[in-house]
Structure 1
Amino acid sequence: MRSTHATRLLSGAATVALTLLAAPALAQTDTSQTTAQDTAQRSQPDTGIVDTDAPTGDDIIVVGTAGGGTRRQDAAFAVTTLSDDAIERAAPNSTADLLRTVPGVMAESSGGQNGANIFVRGYPSGGDAQFVTFQLGGVPIFPPSTLSFLENSQLIRLDETVQRVEAVRGGTGSLFSNGQPGLTVNVVPRTGGSELHGLAKFSYTDYDEARGDAWVSGPLGENTGFMIGGFYAQGNGIRDPGFRAEKGGQVTANIHHDFEGRGSVEVYARYLNDRGQWLLPIPVIQDGRKISAYPGFDAGTGTLLGPETRLTRNVQGNTVNLENGRGADVINTGITFDYEVADGLRVRERMSYLGGRADTVGLVPDGPPTAASAIATALGGAGSTVASLSYVNGGGAVASGADTQVMRAGIWSVQKKITSFVADTALEWKAGGNKLTGGFYYADYTTRDQWALGNQVLLTAEPRARLLNLTLNGGRTATQNGFTSGDGFLVDAYYKGSDLAFYAVDELQITSQLRVDGGLRYQKHIVDGNLRTPAATQVNLDGNPNTLYDNAVNVFGDRRALDPFREGRWSWTAGANYDFTSQVGVFARYSRGHSFPQFDNLREGLTIVAKVDTYEGGLKVSMPWLNLYATVFHNKFDGLATTQLINNVALSQVGGAKATGVELEGAIRPFAGFSLAAAGTFLDGTYQDFFTGGGAIDNTGNRVQRQPRWMWRVTPSYELPVGSLRPSLFATLQYTGDRFSDPENQQLRPRFYQLDAGVSVEVAERIRLQVTGNNLTDEIGLTEGNPRIIGSQGTGPVLARPILGRSLRFSAALSF
């Protein structure tokens, strides 16, 4: 239950924010607030004051380069930068949610703090974030961008220790780091300078989440500085299950030393221990494009998970605690070294280690609400009827009996113990207008997986659902403490992967206006492992045919070695950048990249190496009052191989796609204190020779799932002088177009708008208050449908995962 006082307080703040929408201000997620003088600014305090007249073409970006960085205006690829202030005003609900600000990216953060689905430029993917890599300080956090039940954003949180975020799409990404051809996101932390600075911040929401952030940085000696900070938060979440579903924090520390103009060295460590409810599809009502809430079930705040399902003991006798949710308990340490050993000759080393756990437990619905009588037939066969239907935990018989609307949902448990080591060594030689870089990349990573899927329970079709027991005619028992089945899909596996790559890139300044570059990379991908999966036959645990719940339980088969994988591929790119003036330029690029099969693909015998060819070109305008970045791209994608779990059976999906699109982003600052930022994407992406189930379904010509043709966001902000105060008013209006949740294009997800807004004001020297509102209109915007079926769900009650409902956050920060 929510605090009445807090709700009153924050509702009043929301009224203020909504009133401000009448002013010409809709948001400040200006993607170009980072300045070129990165080293000079790292010791400066974050006052929260926005210089909306600041030029932005001089932003120094590191991602997508050989390591030395380049001006955004000079980059011959599509890149977005976000400052710490832009991140705060975007008010993301999770790390992945921030990527909504990046053109060409469809980020679904409706799964909560963890478990995001992120899609890039029409690259075909069934979920997770197969073509997205997150880096910390230029080093991949975990080299495989996606494993089943684990994508990179699960392993890092955004907090006040982050100085900026950079994101490159396509371009040179296939050359550097782990060779990601899709999207590479670099999270750049603060570092210490010559003066002591810091910040303490407390925030509270109308759904009773409390969070504290803090950081401090300063000198340790001449040319040496430190930074340490992090956050801690806890609450029940917007979708409140009636217990503490969100809890944890993160600590980051680093020591940075400058070699008096010759280079620098930095050592860092980051510890993350955070978990939250894994938000899954809930029942809603769909009638074509019209979406409404299922009776009694708030689409923005409802969840099936509740006190009765939090702690259960399944038919195999195993206890699962859903309070553990989805999250990570990992430590990440590393070092970055950059030094000019001789005039024009530099050596760079970036190295990191990550180890810990990334577990997932969740209540996974099987289908929309249906009558108990239909469940009786499904469990007992034709002619089966409801003999009795009762509550497991008190309350006796269910009054409506066979007509009661019920649901089935699986209690899934996935445990992952992961490690990774990454080393990236590069040598750069610069002479005149030529810069040549060669490097070697090595990554070694492991995961120990233990899965237990299935384990379905019978539930009331309501928020915080109650467990039900069902008996059928003929004296048959369909449930045990609510469980209608035992283990379904099982995995017990150990995987080990290695990537070895060398790369070389040459950048040549032909004239003062024309710069060309080209590079290549060879990568060898090596995977070994051993595993157990379900045996060929199921077992009846108690030998009694009348106890239906344990008559067909999967058990492990024999352990086998994974077929070793040893393959390599060449990737390459060539690009050119031409500056008409120092403020206006164009670029063009071709690149070929690859995505190698990871552990889950190889477990199912899918050994295809994905290949993507990208053609792109763009216009860049960077002036004190205007920034504009426009990119046109065309992708051709071959060799996608993925699986979809249907009735506890892994179904293969293999093929390719092509996509053509336009990405726009920019900001205009017509007068002091006001800015209008905007971003938009048009995408025409379709499957090509794409088949499901070994060729049973041909999806050629269908639109790539879960990626709309149109996305855009408009983000104005305005600093309004009020006496001695200068409150900053901001908001964001975002549009997401029609999508299909499935490759067959049978599950329509209609277009929707989302409105966020807020106000920030410095009430005293170094003291700043801010109120932000998310989804202020309480829009029911659907992301995914039911990924555990093939084809349409029909009309009426369906399963879908809506965006989070309306919420408010109040924060107070003190900087020094």
Structure 2
Amino acid sequence: MPKSLQRRLMAGVTVSAFFTAFPALAQVAGSSAAPPEEASDVEIVVVGTAGAGTRRQDASFAVTSLNSEAITRAAPNSTADLLRTVPGVMAESSGGQNGANIFVRGYPSGGDAQFVTFQLAGVPIFPPPTLSFLENSQLIRLDETVQRVEAVRGGTGSLFSSGQPGLTVNVVPRIGGADFKGSAKISYTDYDEIRGDAWVSGPLSPDTGFMVGGFYAQGNGIRDPRYRAEKGGQITANIHHDFGGRGSVEVYARYLNDHGQWLLPIPVVSNGGKISAYPGFDAGTDTLNGPDTRRVTNLVGRAVDLADGRGAKVINTGITFDYELVDGLRFRERMSFLGGRADTVGLVPVAAPVAASAMAQTLGGTGATLASLTYANGGGVVPTGANTQVLRAGIWEVRKKISSFVADSALEWASGNNKLTGGYYFADYTTRDQWVLGNQVLLQAEPNARRLDMTLTSGAGVLQAATLNGFSSGPAFQVRGNYEGKDYAFYAVDELQITPELRVDGGVRWQRHVVDATLSTSADGGSFDLDGNPNTLYDNAITRLGPPRSIRYRDSAWSWTVGANYDFSREIGVFARYSRGNSFPQFDNLREASATNIADKTGLAAVAEVDTYEAGVKISTALANLYATVFHNKFDGLATTTLINNVPISSNGGAKATGVELEGALRPFEGFSISGALTWLDATYRGFFSGGGTIDNTGNRVQRQPKWAWRVTPAYEVPVGSLKPSVFATLQYTGDRFSDPENNQLLPNFYQLDAGVAVTVNDRIRLAVTGNNLTDEIGLTEGNPRIIGGQGSGPILARPILGRSFRFSAAVNF
């Protein structure tokens, strides 16, 4: 992006990077799509902290809040997609409803959402932020029952709840009040998805209210595999009771049963940093998945249905309790239980398309030549023969049965200008994993690809079968694991209002992390020839599970923070903060760590340490809001694993990041607003080794996170009699990134344009049309994460954003 344009955008977008109050309290700021009525004096409770809430202008660390109208204007394609509106956050939702990658403020990770925790009503949904093939946004959906979404970045996040030093996202549901009201909404897309949403709330007694609602949707998805790939829904209910001004209690339950196609890289063409569609492939709407790959039986007799996709079938229940025991002393309890399944089944491509003649050498070795190429389902010779463009993709199956119990208890004592909060956090969580990766099939490089069978002649002139029913290999990496984790933490926070203008706060947290596991992996068992025939190449390296082994891990760490907030007036303030946070190794890291690493707490078993320095300016007036944050992070002990050629490869080391976040809104006249967000980030590795410790990435940019990212949203609403038409648009820019820590796979910058128009009739009926990616931009969010090194020019594998789509909706409020 030209420097002159950068300067104009920084000056003109004036957008807020939002900050919350003392460690015991977190406050919410206006979103990048905040509606005009969200004024500077609005107080919003951030449930995921120890305190009850504060005016956002008094806040002392960064937090963004999106109310229901802002969520509608953002028009997210998934839960994670909404986080595109939050400065300092890079959310990739090109994987579909599930399987997002979310990155925060230069925190290095290989994917998923290692430094992101989702909460419902202030309680972590599932305490580990990321396990392989499971990140928190997979376990919750956005629907009309959501009142607002809050996203707290850094600050005191490392002290409260699960101790997340990165990003904590709290989904706050509607609750019932004195009035009976509700809404019903139906929507339809141009890719044939139909969805219904509804909610209703009201009083059960003068001090007690209820809310119940949810959604159901089905369709094939934007990337149509020619079968029903997206199907499911969610229902949420709660009862809320007020204790006559001394506190409240809320009991809730949520059931989610939803799955969708796991979208993975597809063929595209790279030419000098320019990306174009692969011949015959629409980069925005096509997929390799199709009827011929949907239901298959692999070489060891395991039947798999790709329509299972990726999703969750879970129930989440909980209670939040807040009560003033005596004047100045409050007790708070947040508790939840989650149980169910979170499975992943997908078609995972291995490498870019090549001619069938070249694939013969890949499968048969140097000197091998193609003997025949036929369709695996129905037979018939492929007419293009040796020139047919083909590729391999693995049919991966990961089954997870998960559960968690979380309890967070706190006492708050307020006396004069001082407020002291102390608490205890406990989490017990399990997962039962069954993985079967590999199972590669040979496909024709086309949308809804068909399986192919190949025979070849070896260099020695022997006829060999390279595939069977399209399968070129059997199970490769396998896991059978039973894991249990426990976290125990004590925290204490003190806030002192020294003068009417100056407030200081500080807090500490001690946490102990315990993991016990029994598991088997294919790495222990080696491989074997299934039929004993060396000329049936497809089954010559079938893996088997080795004997079970145990993991026993124990470690603890301290986190702390200190901050100050100074208000020049009710509308202008500044803050500064330092915090130390920790990220403990989760199940997958410990699975791949050696016994020595676990004993010494090194390598993949190390506790990652994050030091964050941040300062900000806050301006809130009737005309405009502006929140600006400067931050610097230092990371040590980072550890991730990546599956390269079906083998887990570790990456370890440190990084540093410096950045600026802006977020804000301008309201020059009634009905019109311009809101936006901007992030500048300089994040590089230091002493960080990938490839199992063989590649030093020191000085390389942290993967998947751009130096520049911004979005701007103008919106206009004007009443015309009983009608209230409105229009809005969002232009978003994502700068150059690298898909890999080695910085060999460039992801070029791109723009995305979304827009919408709505008409409200008599404040009861709302008709709307929203459009995503109106210019049908081919914007890459991922290269090929299953290789080390670049892909060169020409055909490559990459995952683009979803193509142009429209959603039409009609809602009735009552």
TM-score category, normalised to shorter length: over 0.9
The answer to whether the 8 A contact 1:63-1:167 is kept is no
Q: Could you tell me how far apart the structure 1 residues matched to 2:406 and 2:202 are?
A: 29
| Aligned residue among 163, 170, 180 for 1:186 | 170
Alpha-carbon deviation of 1:716?
Answer: 0.8
- AA at the equivalent of 2:739: S
Q: CA deviation at 1:148?
A: 0.1
Counterpart CA distance in 2 for 1:248 and 1:560 is: 37
Unaligned runs of 5+ in 2: 1-11, 21-32, 594-603
Pick from 647, 660, 663: which aligns with 1:662?
660
The CA distance in 1 between the partners of 2:356 and 2:337, in whole Å, is 51
Bigger Cα displacement from structure 2, 785-794 vs 52-61: 52-61
Match of residue 201 from structure 2 = 217
Runs of 4+ in 1 over 4 A off after TM superposition: 29-32, 721-724
Residue deviations 1:576-628 (CA, integer Å, cap 9, x gap): 11110001101100000000000000001121100000000000111111100
1:61 Cα offset (Å): 3.2
Structure 2 residue 445 is the aligned partner of structure 1 residue 445: no
Q: CA deviation at 1:79?
A: 0.7
Task: Tell me if structure 2 keeps the 8 A contact 1:539–1:552.
Answer: yes
Contact kept, 8 Å, 1:435 with 1:506, in 2: the verdict is: yes
1:459 is aligned, of 443, 454, 458, to 443
Q: Give the distance between the partners of 2:250 and 2:761, measured in 1 at CA.
A: 36
Q: In the TM superposition, what are the counterparts of 1:179-258 in structure 2 within 5 Å?
A: 179-258=163-242
1:495-534 matched pairs, under 5 angstroms: 495-534=483-522
AA aligned to 2:778 is I
| Partner secondary structure for residue 171 of structure 1 | coil
What per-residue deviation string (whole Å, max 9, x for no partner) do you get for residues 400-427 of structure 1? 2111100100000000000000000000
Give, as a single letter, the amino acid of the residue that structure 1 aligns with 2:575.
F
1:548 pairs, out of 537, 542, 564, with 537
Q: Any idea what the Cα deviations from partners look like across 1:609-658, whole Å, max 9, x if unmatched?
A: 00000000000111111100000000000111111111111111000100
Alignment partner, residue 349 of structure 2: 365
- 1:574 is matched with 562
1:679 maps to which residue?
677
**Partner AA of 1:726 in structure 2:** K
How many angstroms does 1:724 deviate by?
A: 4.6
Asked whether the 8 Å contact 1:63–1:168 carries over to 2, the reply is: no
Per-residue CA deviation, residues 93-144 of structure 1 (Å, 9 max, x unaligned), is 0000000000000000000000000000000000000000000000000000
- Aligned residue for 2:313? 329
* Amino acid in structure 1 at the alignment position of 2:335: M
2:813 corresponds in structure 1 to 815
CA contact (8 A) 1:413 1:452 kept: yes
8 Å CA contact retained: 1:31, 1:82: no
633, 640, 647: which one aligns with 1:635: 633
Q: Structure 1 residue 693: deviation in Å?
A: 2.9
In structure 2, the residue matched to 1:745 is 743
Q: Which amino acid aligns with 1:83?
A: N
Which residue number in structure 2 is paired with residue 729 of structure 1? 727
Counterpart CA distance in 2 for 1:376 and 1:722 is: 68
Q: Is the 8 Å Cα contact of residues 330 and 412 (structure 2) preserved in structure 1?
A: yes
Partners of 1:254 and 1:702 lie apart in 2 by: 48
Does structure 2 conserve the Cα–Cα contact (< 8 Å) formed by 1:657 and 1:687? yes
Q: Is the 8 A contact 1:61 1:81 kept in 2?
A: no
**In structure 2, what is the Cα distance between the partners aligned to 1:614 and 1:454?**
40
Q: Does 1:155 align with 2:153?
A: no
Q: Give secondary structure in 1 for the equivalent of 2:724.
A: coil
Q: Does 1:560 align with 2:544?
A: no
CA distance, structure 2, for counterparts of residue 577 and residue 75 of structure 1: 8
Q: Give me the whole-angstrom Cα distance separating, in 2, the residues matched to 1:709 and 1:201.
A: 39
In the aligned structure 2, how far is the partner of 1:536 from the partner of 1:444? Answer: 31
1:252 aligned partner, one-letter code: T
| Distance (Å, rounded) in 1 between the aligned partners of 2:759 and 2:353 | 47
Q: Give the TM-score of the pair, scaled to structure 1.
A: 0.93
1:259-408 mapped onto 2 (5 Å cutoff): 259-394=243-378, 396-408=380-392
Supply the AA of the counterpart residue of 2:64.
T
Q: Is the 8 A contact 1:105 1:121 kept in 2?
A: yes
For residue 73 of structure 1, report the CA deviation from its aligned partner: 1.1
Residue 695 (structure 1) shift: 2.7
Shift of 1:65: 3.0
Return the offset for 1:54. Answer: 4.2
Cα drift, residue 58 of structure 1: 2.6
The root-mean-square deviation of aligned C-alpha atoms, in Å, is 1.7
Tell me if the contact between 1:515 and 1:576 (Cα under 8 Å) persists in the aligned partners. yes
Structure 1 residue corresponding to 2:64, chosen from 80, 86, 98 = 80
CA distance in 2, matches of 1:678, 1:331: 36
The alpha-carbon deviation at position 725 of structure 1 amounts to 2.4
The residue aligned with 2:393 is: 409
| Partner residue, 2:773 | 775
**SS of 1:624 mapped into structure 2:** coil
**Residue 131 of structure 1 corresponds to which residue in structure 2?**
115
- What are the superposed Cα offsets for residues 341-390 of structure 1, whole Å, 9 maximum, x if unpaired? 00000000000000000000000000010011111111111111111000
CA distance in 2, matches of 1:512, 1:346: 24
Deviations 1:699-749 (A, max 9, x none): 000000000000000111001455652211101000000000000101000
- State how far apart, in whole Å, the 2-side matches of 1:640 and 1:50 are: 35
The alignment partner of 2:713 has SS state of strand
**What amino acid is aligned across from residue 367 of structure 1 in structure 2?**
A
Per-residue deviation, residues 415-469 of structure 1 (Å, max 9, x unmatched):
0000000000000001111110000000000000000000000000000000100
Measure the CA separation in 1 of the matches of 2:63 and 2:38: 19
How many equivalent residue pairs? 775
Residue identity opposite 2:94 in structure 1: S
Residues 474-513 of structure 1 mapped to structure 2, 5 A cutoff: 474-513=462-501
* 1:704 matched residue in structure 2: 702
State the distance in 1 between where 2:692 and 2:150 align: 39
For 1:632, give the aligned amino acid: V
- Report the alpha carbon displacement of residue 763 of structure 1 after superposing the two structures with TM: 2.9
User: Which one of the candidate residues 598, 612, 615 is aligned to 1:614?
Assistant: 612
Give the distance between the partners of 1:205 and 1:436, measured in 2 at CA: 51
Picking from 566, 573, 596, the partner of 2:584 is: 596
Structure 1: distance between partners of 2:763 and 2:412: 45
Q: SS at 1:669's partner residue?
A: strand
Q: What amino acid maps onto 2:466 in structure 1? A: A
Letter in 1 for 2:159: L
2:689–2:697 Cα contact (<8 Å) kept: yes
Q: Which moved more, 1:646-655 or 1:252-261?
A: 646-655
Distance 2:335 2:65 in 1: 24
Contact kept? 1:234, 1:244, Cα under 8 Å: yes
Question: What secondary structure sits across from 2:538 in the alignment?
Answer: helix
| Gaps in structure 1 of 5+ consecutive residues | 1-25, 35-48
Aligned partners of 1:53 and 1:260: how far apart in 2?
A: 29
With normalisation by structure 2, the TM-score equals 0.94
- 1:51, 1:673 within 8 Å by CA — same for their partners in 2? no
Rounded to whole Å, the distance in 2 between the matches of 1:80 and 1:251 is 26
> In structure 1, how many angstroms separate the alpha carbons of the residues matched to 2:41 and 2:433?
46
Does 2:531 match 1:538? no
